């Protein structure tokens, strides 16, 4: 296959597990982001403020933006992004802890999605 025959679009899958060591600091930063969003309507802002106070995954979803990951990569433009955060059971000391990315691909093919998602286009 020549370069002209290949797609110009690439799907990048990234999965992270983060430990929330300071949930209050995370929630505070997310609240600042929500309050600074000039495009958010008042009823949506009220819901978002409540969500980030109660759920670290929601707070993280408001702070992480895939555009920030690729904005400085030369030669690429972000065409579309969606992301979600959810609380998970994770044991960093478990031996042989492997992620089965094929299961995730199967879920996407079936049209299922994780917790609250966010999009950027």
Output the pTM of the full model.
0.68
pLDDT in tens, 65-112: 888 889 999 999 999 998 888 998 888 888 655 655 555 555 544 443
Cα 65 from Cα 81, distance rounded (Å)? 9
The answer to whether the beta carbons of residues 48 and 40 sit under 8 Å apart is yes
Q: Which letter does DSSP use for residue 80 in this model? A: -
pLDDT in tens, 37-78: 999 999 999 999 999 999 999 999 999 988 888 999 999 999
The answer to whether the beta carbons of residues 52 and 62 sit under 8 Å apart is yes
């Amino acid at each position: 296959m020549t370069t002209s025959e290949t797609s110009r679009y690439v799907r990048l899958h990234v999965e992270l597990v983060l430990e929330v060591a300071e949930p209050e600091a995370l929630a505070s930063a997310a609240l600042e982001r929500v309050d600074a969003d000039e495009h958010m309507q008042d009823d949506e802002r009220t819901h978002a403020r409540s969500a980030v106070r109660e759920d670290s995954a929601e707070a993280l979803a408001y702070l992480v933006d895939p555009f920030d990951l690729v904005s400085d990569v030369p030669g690429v433009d972000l065409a579309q992004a969606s992301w979600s955060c959810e609380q998970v059971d994770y044991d960093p000391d478990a031996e042989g802890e492997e992620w089965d990315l094929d299961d995730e691909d199967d879920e996407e093919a079936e049209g299922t999605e994780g917790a609250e998602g966010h999009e950027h286009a």
